[in-house]
Amino acid sequence: MLLHLSTWAEIESFLKTSRTVVVPIGSNEQHGPTGLLGTDWLCPEIIAHEAQKRGDILVAPTFNIGMAQHHLDFPGTIALRPSTFMAAIGDWCRSLAHHGFEKIYFLNGHGGNVATIEAAFSELYAEASYAGRRTGFACKLRNWWDLKGVMGLANRQFPTGHGSHATPSEIAVTQWAYPDAIKAANYAPQIAPTGPIREAGDFRARYADGRMGSDPGQATPEKGGELVATAAAALLEDVAEFGAEANP
Ligand SMILES: [Zn+2]
């Protein structure tokens, strides 16, 4: 079930059966010469939307802008600073909690978001602690590549040149969902260099075409479909487990 294609009355009745909601979250940032700018928000969205076709979960609109300041020297990247990102996550959670959602599950598509999403959760819990009340809700963060079976499959599909940015696995997922948007390029070198992440100018100087350690030329829509099927099944299990956690 997709929240944005539902009415308020449908959400009100969903709340009578479940208090759990899944929020895909990512980033809109450059992904090398062939990766879509939306890759990091498209991947969790594609997986969550596939999962809701197979199981009874509610998926909220995708939170599609995140921590991408280091990619800003590549056109099309849109970034929030950490304080803005945390404030926005806080209000998403407060809004959902206001309706009675108690388990808010963020399916993340961008490693650079992790520290700030966790900090946003801590802010929400601190708010309740200082006010001397129970939050009444719990937040959970899961990166889509950490869902059961996904990284093992990606390692078998791409034993070399997976890398850490503009990876063949994430690009394969978007190719499966958006075959009309598949791009081609000659990669030089075939496997991109790796190194640290600092500010935007430093990043562009180190990683000329935007990739880090990856060879996205190995991506195919078929491999993407296998990743989505594995991830969607694991997501349903993970969300069910989170939803069943008892509040003490
Ligand atoms: Zn990415």
Q: Report CA(31)–ligand 1 centroid distance (Å).
A: 6
Q: How confident is the model at residue 134 (pLDDT cuts 50, 70, 90)?
A: confident
Summarize the confidence of residues 234-246 as an average pLDDT.
96
What residues contact 172, with CB distance under 8 A and at least 6 apart? 157, 219, 220, 221, 223, 224, 227
Whole-number Å distance, alpha carbon 27 to ligand 1 midpoint, is 8
Task: Please check the confidence at residue 248 and state whether its pLDDT lies above 90.
Answer: no
Distance 113 CA to ligand 1 centre (A): 11
**Residue 49, exposed/middle/buried by CB under 10 A (0-12, 13-18, 19+)?**
middle
Question: Ligand 1 mean position to 49 CA, how many Å?
Answer: 18
Q: How many angstroms does the Cα of residue 58 sit away from the middle of ligand 1?
A: 24
Q: How far is the CA of 212 from the centre of ligand 1 (A)?
A: 10
The number of angstroms, rounded, from the C-alpha of 10 to the middle of its chain's C-alpha atoms is 26
Residue type, 65: I
Q: For residue 199, how far is its CA from the centre of ligand 1 (angstroms)?
A: 17
8 A C-beta contact, residue 164 and residue 206: no
Least confident of 55-59, 66-70, 151-155, 244-248: 244-248
The model's pTM = 0.97
The phi and psi torsions of 247 (rounded to 5 degrees) equal: -80, 130
Q: Identify whether 189 is preceded by a cis peptide bond (ω within 30 of 0).
A: yes
In this predicted model, what pLDDT tens digit does every residue of 20-55 receive, in sequence order? 999 999 999 999 999 999 999 999 999 999 999 999
Ligand 1 centroid – CA 121 distance (Å): 22
User: What's the Cα-to-Cα distance from 111 to each of 57, 71, 86, 175, 220, rounded to whole Å?
Assistant: 24, 13, 15, 20, 22
Note the pLDDT of residue 247.
Answer: 75
Above 90 in pLDDT, residue 246? no
Q: Can you give the pLDDT at residue 156?
A: 98
Looking at residue 188, what is its pLDDT?
92
Average pLDDT over residues 106-110: 98
Residue 133 pLDDT grade (very low, low, confident, very high; cuts 50, 70, 90): confident
DSSP 246: P
Reference 65, options 86, 39, 85; nearest CA is 85
For the chain, what is the mean pLDDT? 97
pLDDT in tens, 16-29: 999 999 999 999 99
Q: Which domains does the chain have, with CATH numbers?
A: 3-244 (3.40.50.10310)
